[in-house]
């Protein structure tokens, strides 16, 4: 059975935590776009700018989560390649 180092476990926990935080941020932004912006907007221009700003922030959260997951996948893949070169079992 393969045991993971403390560093690998911390990196995995950090990745999960940040992905969940990004998902919560995305959900909050979508809630703001769908519920709060129409309630607070006085003109169509306010509605448009509020919607665009909320969607932009929501997309930033989503892209950040994807980049974090991609970085973790690359890190895990490099660790496996390095382990196979040394002769350790996967």
Domain ranges of the chain: 7-84
Under 8 Å between Cβ of 65 and 23: yes
pLDDT category at 90 given cuts 50, 70, 90 is: low
pLDDT at 80 over 80: no
Contact partners, residue 8, CB within 8 Å, separation at least 6: 79
pLDDT at 6 over 90: no
Which class for 29: exposed (0-12), middle (13-18), buried (19 or more C-beta within 10 A)?
A: buried
Under 8 Å between Cβ of 76 and 23: no
Mean pLDDT of 9-16: 90
Query: How far apart (Å, rounded) are the C-alpha atoms in residues 75 and 41?
Result: 45
Question: Which pLDDT score is estimated for 57?
Answer: 94
The pLDDT tens digits of the residues spanning 30-75 come to 999 999 888 888 999 999 999 999 999 999 999 999 999 999 999 8
């Amino acid at each position: 059975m393969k045991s993971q180092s403390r560093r690998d476990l911390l990196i995995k926990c950090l990745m999960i935590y940040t992905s969940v935080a990004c998902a919560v941020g995305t959900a909050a932004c979508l809630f703001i776009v769908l519920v709060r912006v129409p309630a607070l907007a006085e003109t169509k221009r306010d509605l448009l700018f509020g919607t665009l700003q909320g969607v932009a922030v929501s997309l930033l959260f989503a892209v950040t989560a994807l980049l974090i997951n991609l970085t973790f996948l690359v890190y895990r893949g490099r660790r496996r390649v390095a382990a196979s070169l040394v002769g350790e079992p996967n």
